[in-house]
Amino acid sequence: MTPENLQETVVKALKSNRFDPVLYVETAEEAGKKALEMIPEDAKVGMGGSTSLMQTGLLEVLRKRGNMTMDKPDIYLTSSNAITLDGKLVNTDMTGNRVSSMIFGPKQVIVIAGMNKVVKDLHAAMDRIKNVITPHMAKSSGVRTPCATEGKCSDCKSPMRLCSVTTIIEAKPRVTQLSIILTGEDMGLSWDPEWDRERIEKIQSVFNEKWAILIGARQQAK
């Protein structure tokens, strides 16, 4: 499937599952601008810890405007760990705060994700999450779980397990507007091990840089 056909297939599937709007842009910067158009100047905005969002430049704008809050946001910004070809959003959390906010609470959720997050089906989504995303995330975070050292899931029972809560959003939740912005640019932490090494290393490098900034900001806030 060509990149153009892949894009068209995913956008069509997401729209059929009543996500609205579903947009496609080429770059992370464009995605940030599109998201900003959806956010009123006086809106209270929350976010899940996301290097994809950091790539857009959107967070700096919202902080300067005074939109960001931790308390009952009107709009919630996040990415998605995986998106299937038939338009399902698959996500996993350690505590469940991010995935629960994607489903209920905020009036609107805006998901920004690179096409590198797109996978064939639910089986492929779980494989990507368990054996690519979570092991790298655990290692980057200094979490002592088996996947951090082994590079793959062992279904551990560790209290520090990052993949404790997994959700599948098959269609728009009834009372939550869920909007999706896809980008042709790789964003966040996700890759197919079959891709060329240069592309994978670039994804990892950008993630590691943004993740270090995010962790540093969290530590300063404590």
Q: For residues 163 and 175, is the Cβ–Cβ distance under 8 A?
A: no
Q: What is the pTM of this model?
A: 0.95
Please tell me the predicted confidence (pLDDT) of residue 125.
98
Asked if residue 63 belongs to a domain, the reply is yes
* Total number of domains constituting the chain: 1
| Torsion sign over Cα 157, 127, 52, 15 | negative
| Domain membership of residue 135 as a residue range | 3-213
Residues 6+ apart with CB under 8 A from 125: 81, 82, 83, 84, 88, 90, 119
Q: For residues 113 and 185, is the Cβ–Cβ distance under 8 A?
A: no
Buried residues in 4-43 as b, exposed as e (16+ CB within 10 A): eeebeebbebbeebebeebbbbeebebbbbbbbebbeeeb
Give pLDDT tens digits along the chain (222 positions). 788 899 999 999 999 999 999 999 999 999 999 999 999 999 999 998 899 999 999 999 999 999 999 889 999 999 999 999 999 999 999 999 999 999 999 999 999 999 999 999 999 999 999 999 999 999 998 899 999 999 999 999 999 999 999 999 999 999 999 999 999 999 999 999 999 999 999 999 999 999 888 777 666 555
Asked if residue 220 belongs to a domain, the reply is no
pLDDT digits (tens, 9 = 90+) for 108-137: 999 999 999 999 999 999 999 999 999 999
Q: For residues 80 and 166, is the Cβ–Cβ distance under 8 A?
A: no
Asked if residue 201 belongs to a domain, the reply is yes
Asked if residue 205 belongs to a domain, the reply is yes
We report the CATH number of the domain holding residue 113 as: 3.40.50.10420
Asked if residue 219 belongs to a domain, the reply is no
Asked if residue 68 belongs to a domain, the reply is yes
